[in-house]
């Protein structure tokens, strides 16, 4: 069974640009969550999608957005990039509607560098 | 809001030494706790989890963790580490946000370096 895949794996963008990252969950998984990992802040929750609906969102500005498609694939978008957005963006999927008892399976991440 | 703190930022051990990594969480009702590991160049993998029942949980690769409710702790242990255990370890708690859906709240991580 294929794991969570994320594309692209590496990305370099300039301040002010926007970027779209993609995540394909494990087959059969319907919940997708996104996390930002930085050396200073660690792993921080961005948002979670289930059945094409954003169920909750972490404490990030509106420049960060996402969506989920009918096949459960998800994209996240960051507009007006800032240097501080440089991070590893992780996607995680889980089988059922997200609840406290679900395990999340993580992808390899997309390394975004903003110059 | 839930929070997770990991006491040790960087731990250095020799092979065969015993390991204990500390993790404390803030109280927020029902807690479900996890330890994840990130080996160099690899993605986050689940080591073990605690949902309910026996507070001593066993995970993969010989790791175990003990949930102590009175201390709000979920420490990770391994009796004898190997060089291949060199990695970053994250403690996490599942929490409900806005009464809908959940998120994992992670600690800042502990880097374990094992010398052979």
pLDDT at B20: 97
pLDDT at B98: 59
Contact A76, A63 (CB under 8 A): no
| DSSP tag of B24 | E
Residues 6+ apart with CB under 8 A from B99: none
Does B109 contact A104 at a Cβ distance shorter than 8 Å? no
Does A55 contact B100 at a Cβ distance shorter than 8 Å? yes
Averaged pLDDT of chain B? 91
Output Rg (C-alpha) for chain B, integer angstroms.
14
Residue B53 φ/ψ, nearest 5 degrees? 85, -140
pLDDT in tens, chain B (116 residues): 778 999 889 999 999 999 999 999 986 677 789 999 999 989 999 999 998 889 999 999 999 999 998 999 999 999 999 999 999 999 999 876 655 567 889 999 999 999 98
Averaged pLDDT of chain A? 92
Percentage of chain A with pLDDT > 90? 76
pLDDT digits (tens, 9 = 90+) for A46-62: 999 988 999 888 899 99
pLDDT at B13: 97
pLDDT at B78: 98
Query: Which residue in A43, A51, A74 has the most chain B C-beta atoms within 10 A of its own C-beta, making it the best mutation to test that interface?
Result: A43
How many Cα atoms are found within 13 Å in the side-chain-facing hemisphere of A32? 32
- Could you identify the residue written with the tokens 């073990």? B48
Spatial distance between the Cα atoms of B5 and B2, rounded to a whole number of angstroms: 10
pLDDT at A93: 93
Does A100 contact B97 at a Cβ distance shorter than 8 Å? no
Query: Which residue in A53, A100, A111 has the most chain B C-beta atoms within 10 A of its own C-beta, making it the best mutation to test that interface?
Result: A100
């Amino acid at each position: 069974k294929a794991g969570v895949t994320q594309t692209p794996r590496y990305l370099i963008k300039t301040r002010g640009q926007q970027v779209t990252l993609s995540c394909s969950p494990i087959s059969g998984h319907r919940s997708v969550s996104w996390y930002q990992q930085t050396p200073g802040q660690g792993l921080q929750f961005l948002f979670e999608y289930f059945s094409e609906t954003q169920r909750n969102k972490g404490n990030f500005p509106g420049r960060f957005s996402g969506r989920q498609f009918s096949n459960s694939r998800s994209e996240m978008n960051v507009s007006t990039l800032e240097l501080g957005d440089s991070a590893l963006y992780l996607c995680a999927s889980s089988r059922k509607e997200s609840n406290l008892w679900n395990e999340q399976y993580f992808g390899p991440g997309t390394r975004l560098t903003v110059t | 809001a839930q929070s997770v703190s990991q006491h040790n930022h960087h731990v250095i051990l020799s092979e065969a030494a015993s390991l204990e990594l500390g993790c404390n969480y803030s109280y927020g009702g029902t807690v479900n706790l996890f330890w994840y590991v990130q080996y160099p160049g690899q993605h986050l993998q689940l080591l073990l989890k605690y949902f309910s029942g026996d507070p001593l949980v066993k995970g993969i690769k010989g790791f175990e963790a003990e949930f102590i409710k009175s201390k709000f702790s979920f420490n990770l242990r391994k009796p004898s580490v190997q060089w291949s255990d060199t990695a970053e370890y994250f403690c996490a708690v599942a929490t409900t946000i806005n009464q809908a859906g959940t998120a994992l709240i992670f600690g800042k991580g502990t880097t374990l370096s094992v010398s052979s």
